[in-house]
Amino acid sequence: MAVFTGEYECKMDAKGRVSMPAKIKGRLPECSKHEFILSRGFEPCLTIYTKEEYTKVHEKFSTLSTYNPEQRRLLRTFFRVSSDVEMDSLGRFLIPKRLMQYAKLEREILIVGAGSVLEIWNPDVYDRYIVDTPEEYSELAEKYLDVQQDEFNGNGYVSPAGIA
């Protein structure tokens, strides 16, 4: 599994093409060296999924019921805004216009590593969606990453209802 980190300042040309940074290309798994999935993010950004990661996301979506109207809307929306994207021989990929508009992308963009995926942001918009202070960063880490000792049985497993 590829792990993506860092921020990369990039430029998008008039046709909507972006050159994938070399450090990112080096981390792409073999199945995604030339092709990946580009989709709307949950914030006003785009998400790049490797083929491997997209398969995991697809598996989660395949558990939704097509008989439930709300779940159908989610399915329809997610897959409608996802596109297969290929890199050309120069390592460039084309961002579809509807996705550019969604993320408010202009010439200057940021490609940001977000663990198992990459995100593409307008730099002015991105600043509103990051943690600003060390205090907030610490609070979020404690809230979502800190496992309480009494809930942890010591083997990397959090037991149900805190039973050790």
* Structural domain spans, the chain: 7-128, 131-164
Contact 113, 4 (CB under 8 A): yes
Positions in the chain whose pLDDT score sits under 70: 147-164
CATH for the stretch 7-128: 3.40.1550.20
Give the pLDDT score at 60: 93
pLDDT in tens, 117-164: 999 999 999 999 999 899 998 998 888 887 654 454 444 444 444 444
Give the pLDDT score at 46: 98
Give Cα 21 to chain centroid, integer Å.
16
- Helical (H) or strand (E) element with 123: helix 123-126
Give the pLDDT score at 85: 94
Phi, psi values for residue 149, rounded to 5°: -60, -40
Give Cα 156 to chain centroid, integer Å.
26
CB within 8 A of 128, min separation 6: which ones? Answer: none
Give the pLDDT score at 147: 63
The CA distance from 146 to 15, in Å, is 45
Cβ atoms within 10 A of the Cβ of 130, count?
11
Instruction: Determine the residue type at 43.
Output: E
pTM of the model: 0.83
152 beta partners: 158
Question: Which of 55, 51, 38, 42 minimizes the C-alpha distance to 98?
Answer: 38
Question: Which of 37, 80, 83 minimizes the C-alpha distance to 56?
Answer: 37
